[in-house]
């Protein structure tokens, strides 16, 4: 399916185009007709629960797995017929992989750099992932997070146009995740296109320009993190602590209910409802303590989709 043009900008060329992608294992369709379009220079997040088909989809785009149906173009090439020149334009981090434990950080990055026609500087790449003080350490002696960063360095040293990251921060502590996020964001600044998978909402919300939610091998929703699943148009919830003697009657456009001392007002037109509420508060001399105006979070959208088969 073709994505709509981004408002106020020219149509950006697609780096990845996928139509009707399917993969079956026996009777089970792990990927059941996925359409995707990833545009140059964006961070695209494929979000979904475990077993939704994220890695299978990614590995078909990376040239690791055969597909059973559909058409795929990655940088203009069908990944079922990968060429060495095509591999040179792609960098990737697998969900789980081991690096030769006996080789040092510098040796591994230099080894990979040697495979590419236009490799980045080795020391600079190690610096970029923050492993300069570990450059002489053997891969087998690094912590899990450090090994992952080394893996990212190997993905980037060939100066690829397109980067695949399969669950790049799974198992990270909060500080390491923040560091990884800023690293991924700087890939966008370098002009790279990034396709990442994650099951963390905050990760998708923080990083992604565009999100597709994969559930049961199908795209259940897609859009920008702010608009996916009609988040921007969904009814707002306005809540505040109930003042003394509150009788649950507010002349407003929305529905009002009182739960455990909190008044919750659901309204389709946020502006009008907030205006009416403020008028009402002035008349009743109440200060609307604990006032919150919320729309469904990405997590609400996600959980709603992930729960329905």
Partner 1 sequence: MNVAALSLREAGYARKSLLRDPQSLFFTIALPLLYLFIFDTVFGSQVGTVPGQPGRMKISIVMTASVIVIGVVSSAFQNLTVTLIQDREQGILKRLRSTPVPTPVFLAGHLVNATITSVILAVGVGVLGITVYGVPFPGERIGAAVVTVLMGTLACAGAAIPFTRVVRKGSAASPVTVAVTLSLFFLSGNFFPGVAMPRLMGVVADIFPVRHFFSAMLTAFNPNTAGSGFDFGELGVLALWGVAGAALGTAVFRWTPSEDR
Give the footprint of partner 1 on this chain (CB under 8 A): 59, 62, 64-66, 84-85, 87-88, 90-92, 94, 96-100, 102-103, 107, 111-112, 114-117, 138, 151, 154-155, 158
In the 8-state DSSP scheme, what is residue 65? Answer: S
Q: Tell me how far, at minimum, the Cβ of 66 lies from partner 1, in Å.
A: 6
> Which CB atom, from 146 or from 252, has the smaller least distance to partner 1?
146
> Which CB atom, from 5 or from 85, has the smaller least distance to partner 1?
85
- The contacts of residue 221 (CB under 8 Å, 6+ apart) are 212, 213, 228, 229, 301, 305
> Which CB atom, from 44 or from 164, has the smaller least distance to partner 1?
164
Q: Tell me how far, at minimum, the Cβ of 184 lies from partner 1, in Å.
A: 18
Distances, alpha carbon 117 to alpha carbons 90, 92, 128, 194, in Å: 12, 17, 20, 21
Q: Tell me how far, at minimum, the Cβ of 79 lies from partner 1, in Å.
A: 11
Q: Tell me how far, at minimum, the Cβ of 33 lies from partner 1, in Å.
A: 19
> Which CB atom, from 47 or from 109, has the smaller least distance to partner 1?
109
Q: Indicate left, alpha or beta for 217 from its phi (over 0: left) and psi (-120 to 50: alpha).
A: left
Q: Tell me how far, at minimum, the Cβ of 99 lies from partner 1, in Å.
A: 7
How would you list the strands of the sheet with 210-215, edge to edge? 90-93, 162-166, 193-198, 43-47, 210-215, 218-223
Q: Tell me how far, at minimum, the Cβ of 80 lies from partner 1, in Å.
A: 10
> Which CB atom, from 151 or from 276, has the smaller least distance to partner 1?
151
Q: Tell me how far, at minimum, the Cβ of 198 lies from partner 1, in Å.
A: 20
Distances, alpha carbon 196 to alpha carbons 164, 204, 209, in Å: 6, 9, 11
> Which CB atom, from 97 or from 182, has the smaller least distance to partner 1?
97
In this structure, are residues 197 and 55 in contact, taking their beta carbons and an 8 Å threshold?
yes
- The contacts of residue 138 (CB under 8 Å, 6+ apart) are 101, 102, 103, 104
> Which CB atom, from 94 or from 293, has the smaller least distance to partner 1?
94
> Which CB atom, from 40 or from 103, has the smaller least distance to partner 1?
103
| CA 157/CA 105 separation, integer angstroms | 12
In the 8-state DSSP scheme, what is residue 230? Answer: G
Q: How far is CA 96 from the centre of its chain?
A: 18
| CA 134/CA 140 separation, integer angstroms | 12
Q: Tell me how far, at minimum, the Cβ of 152 lies from partner 1, in Å.
A: 12
138 CB burial (10 A radius; 0-12, 13-18, 19+): middle
């Amino acid at each position: 399916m073709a994505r709509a043009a981004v408002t106020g900008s020219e149509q950006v060329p697609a780096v990845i185009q996928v139509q009707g992608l399917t993969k079956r294992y026996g009777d089970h369709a792990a990927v059941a007709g996925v359409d995707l379009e990833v545009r140059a220079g964006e961070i695209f997040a494929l979000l979904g629960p475990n077993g939704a088909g994220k890695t299978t989809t990614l590995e078909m785009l990376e040239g690791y797995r055969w597909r059973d149906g559909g058409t795929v173009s990655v940088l203009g090439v069908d990944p079922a017929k990968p060429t060495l020149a095509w591999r040179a334009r792609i960098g990737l981090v697998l969900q789980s992989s081991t690096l030769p434990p006996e080789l040092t950080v510098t040796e591994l990055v230099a080894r990979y750099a040697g495979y590419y026609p236009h490799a980045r500087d080795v020391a600079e790449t190690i610096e970029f992932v923050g492993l300069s003080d570990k450059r002489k350490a053997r891969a087998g002696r690094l912590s899990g997070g450090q090994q992952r960063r080394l893996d990212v360095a190997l993905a980037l040293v060939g100066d690829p146009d397109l980067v695949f990251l399969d669950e790049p921060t799974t198992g990270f502590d909060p500080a390491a995740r923040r560091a990884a996020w800023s690293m991924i964001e700087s890939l966008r600044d370098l002009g790279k296109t990034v396709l990442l998978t994650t099951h963390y909402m905050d990760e998708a919300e923080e990083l992604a320009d565009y999100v597709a939610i994969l559930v049961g091998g199908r795209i259940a929703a897609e859009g920008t993190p702010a608009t996916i699943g009609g988040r921007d148009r969904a009814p707002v919830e306005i809540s505040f602590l109930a003042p003394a003697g509150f009788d649950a009657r507010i002349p407003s456009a929305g529905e009002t209910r009182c739960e455990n001392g909190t008044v919750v007002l659901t309204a389709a037109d946020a502006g009008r409802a907030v205006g009416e509420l403020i008028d009402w508060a002035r008349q009743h001399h109440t200060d609307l303590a604990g006032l919150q105006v919320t729309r469904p979070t990405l997590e609400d959208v996600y959980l709603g989709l992930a729960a329905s088969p």
